[in-house]
Amino acid sequence: MRHREPPRVLTASLALLLASGCGPGPGAPDAPALPAPSVVVVATPPLLPYVTVTLTPTPEPAPSPPSPQPKVLVVGLDGVRYDRVLATGAVHFRQLMEAGTLATGRLEVLRKVRSSSGPGWATVLTGVAPGKHGVHNNSFEGRQFIKYPDFLTRLERIRPSLHTAAVTGWRDLVHAGAVGDLVDWHATSHLKPYEIGDKDAFIIDRMTDLIQASQVDVAFMHLEVTDAVAHRTGVLGPAYREAIETVDGYLGRLFGAIRARPTFAAEKWTIIVTTDHGHKDEGGHGGVSAPERSVFVLAAGPGIEQGARRRDARQVDVAATVFAQLGIPLPGDLDGGSLSRVSAGNSH
């Protein structure tokens, strides 16, 4: 990762204006002579001392404090059925719901496009539909990431000073170019696929370390355990519930890492949580049934309505929301719109 000096935070101080006073003049005119019967006497008044006045220059007005720096963290939870999340305690997920907007919906599965991770995460990362990014399944054949890069790569091109990061346990996202080489810092796991729990523990450790110890403006993190459990046991049993509660605990760790940042008071964070696809009750996806196509986008941050519920979730809205929250105009070829009311130019 490129190392950059952290931005300085200026604190405005109040300027005090000191009033100055002045005394009387150096002397008074001679008093008139007083007549006497035989002798004329002239009375000379004593000399008055000068009054010394010290003038204090008015200080320059202190500079206004800088606006809080916007930061965005996107958390991808693989294969999460939001209805099953709402059937658990999921304390941190619910806190995010209270602080922001939960949009739920169904994937628009086009001909030859499967409800699987390749198309799902490609859509989230690029902000365009499969008809543009070209990913129809997990092979990533036909991908058009040079023409439609991920939102981190776009941001690096538009504003290279931003610190970007991506951490994922699915190596294909990096190897296929869904996360581009321009991203400042990225990590992936070399553990075998679906080693339940191990990869996600590695990923959450790396991301919390990154948030606490490094400069980061925009980050993407992808966790797999929920999808792995759903494939093995389905989504109705205790194993899937436990997996949801595990990733909910990971969200809590991320929130704590953000609050622990030395510069947190001078920052304004947006958190976006989303998924790539749903699952059948018995586990499995890739088809066109409603449970397989179940998706959600949960976002909280400046300008995002608190406690709102919507039924129009679209994966393409994630990238658009990232741009809007950073105050950067939306590229014209994005297919989504921001979930916030923050104005960032060409919002849909």
The answer to whether 143 and 120 are in contact (CB under 8 A) is no
Q: How confident is the model at residue 112, as a pLDDT?
A: 82
Q: How confident is the model at residue 290, as a pLDDT?
A: 96
Q: How confident is the model at residue 117, as a pLDDT?
A: 96
CA atoms within a 13 Å half-sphere pointing along the CA-CB vector of 325: 29
The pLDDT tens digits of the residues spanning 36-76 come to: 444 444 444 444 444 444 455 667 777 776 789 999 999 99
Q: How confident is the model at residue 191, as a pLDDT?
A: 59
Confidence at 250, pLDDT banded by 50, 70, 90: very high
Which tokens go with 166?
A: 């991506």
Q: How confident is the model at residue 181, as a pLDDT?
A: 93
Q: How confident is the model at residue 205, as a pLDDT?
A: 92
Topology (CATH level 3) of domain 70-326: Alkaline Phosphatase, subunit A (3.40.720)
- d(CA 104, CA 84) in angstroms, rounded, equals 13
**Beta 294-300 vs 101-106: how paired, if at all?**
antiparallel
**Domain boundaries defined on the chain:** 70-326
Give the distance from CA 115 to its chain's centroid: 28
User: Which positions ≥6 away from 34 have C-beta within 8 Å?
Assistant: 41, 43
Confidence at 192, pLDDT banded by 50, 70, 90: low
Confidence at 152, pLDDT banded by 50, 70, 90: very high
Amino acid at 181: D
pLDDT at 29 over 50: no
DSSP state of 159: -
Q: What number of other Cβ atoms are within 10 A of residue 12's Cβ?
A: 11
Angle (deg, nearest 10), helices 117-126 and 317-326: 30
Q: How confident is the model at residue 345, as a pLDDT?
A: 46
- Going from the C-alpha of 72 to that of each of 12, 229, 288, 327, 343, the distances in angstroms are 26, 28, 32, 11, 16
DSSP H or E stretch at residue 152: helix 151-158
Nearest alpha-carbon partner for 336 in 104, 80, 126: 126
Q: How confident is the model at residue 202, as a pLDDT?
A: 86
Predicted TM-score (pTM) of the model is 0.80
